[in-house]
Amino acid sequence: MAKTNVTQSAPETQPALSKHEDFILKYKNAIIGTVAALVLIVAGIIIYNHHKAGKLREAQTAMQGPELSVQMGMTELQQASDLFGEKQFEQALNGDSLGTMGFLKIADEYSSTKAGNLANLYAGLCYAHMDKWEEAVKYLEQFDSADDYLVSPAAMGALGNAYAHVNQLDKAVSTLTKAAEKADNIMLSPIYYIQAGEILESQGKKADALKLYQKVKGMQSISQSSPYVEMIDEYIERVSE
């Protein structure tokens, strides 16, 4: 996805955004934590599969050319992801004194591989943890999640939150709504719909917010175990006044 430099900003909506931004900030860590956990799982599976395949190839012939590059990229990614798991976000991004490459360099040098693609996502999450939201948007946009049904909705949710933090509100609403639809589950979808609805409220679009809240309300027939579903009546009442 290409980076968009133009942000949407309207002075009359800013006070409303400030009023409701506590919701976005409250759930920021939950959103980032969810996608980070999924990335660690998926990356671990990919790294393991590549390692296993690499051992098989080594038994037949020495790795050369592109195959070696792919394996090296996964090795570097694993080392950087260890730093990410330890919440050493600066080192995970830029590398450390022990020779870990860092996500930024991995994304650049292995851009055509899965390692490089996942490095973009990791980099975006690092910047989000560091509250550097412009940089978070840049790298989250570069992550291609089309082929991963597990990480994709969570990555889109993280991107939607990043858009909200840089005041690209329409993009935030659109991306969060798409994330909710793609997730299609009781754990993630309500969060994204509610976040999108909060932003719409901040823009004075109560009718549009109501439509999203009603989607969450409809999930009560599936499950009432989600705290977001349980509190949705409060949101519906607020925009129905």
Residue 158 belongs to some domain of the structure = no
Q: Please determine, for residue 108, whether its predicted confidence score (pLDDT) is greater than 80.
A: yes
Q: Which whole number is the average pLDDT over 205-213?
A: 96
Tokens of 11: 């002075």
List the domain range (segments joined by +) for residue 33: 27-145
Q: Which whole number is the average pLDDT over 29-51?
A: 57
Per-residue model confidence as pLDDT tens digits over 82-95: 898 888 999 999 99
Please count the structural domains in the chain: 1
Q: How far is CA 33 from CA 3, 112, 150, 158, in A?
A: 24, 26, 14, 10
Query: CA 34, CA 46: separation in Å to the nearest integer?
Result: 18
Higher pLDDT, 220 or 153: 153
Residue 192 belongs to some domain of the structure = no
Residue 13 belongs to some domain of the structure = no
Query: CA 193, CA 160: separation in Å to the nearest integer?
Result: 11
Residue 77 belongs to some domain of the structure = yes
Residue 103 belongs to some domain of the structure = yes
- H or E element: which one contains 50? helix 14-60
Per-residue model confidence as pLDDT tens digits over 42-61: 555 555 554 444 443 443 33
Residue 128 contacts residue 121 (beta carbons within 8 Å): no
Per-residue model confidence as pLDDT tens digits over 156-208: 988 998 898 899 999 999 999 999 999 888 888 888 899 899 899 989 999 99
**What is the secondary structure of 179-223 as a DSSP string?**
HHHHH-STTTHHHHHHHHHHHHHHTT-HHHHHHHHHHHHHGGGT-
Residue 193 belongs to some domain of the structure = no
Tokens of 238: 């607020």
What integer pLDDT is reported at residue 32 of this predicted model? 58
What integer pLDDT is reported at residue 228 of this predicted model? 72
Residue 196 belongs to some domain of the structure = no
What integer pLDDT is reported at residue 45 of this predicted model? 54
Tokens of 125: 């999450």
Residue 99 belongs to some domain of the structure = yes
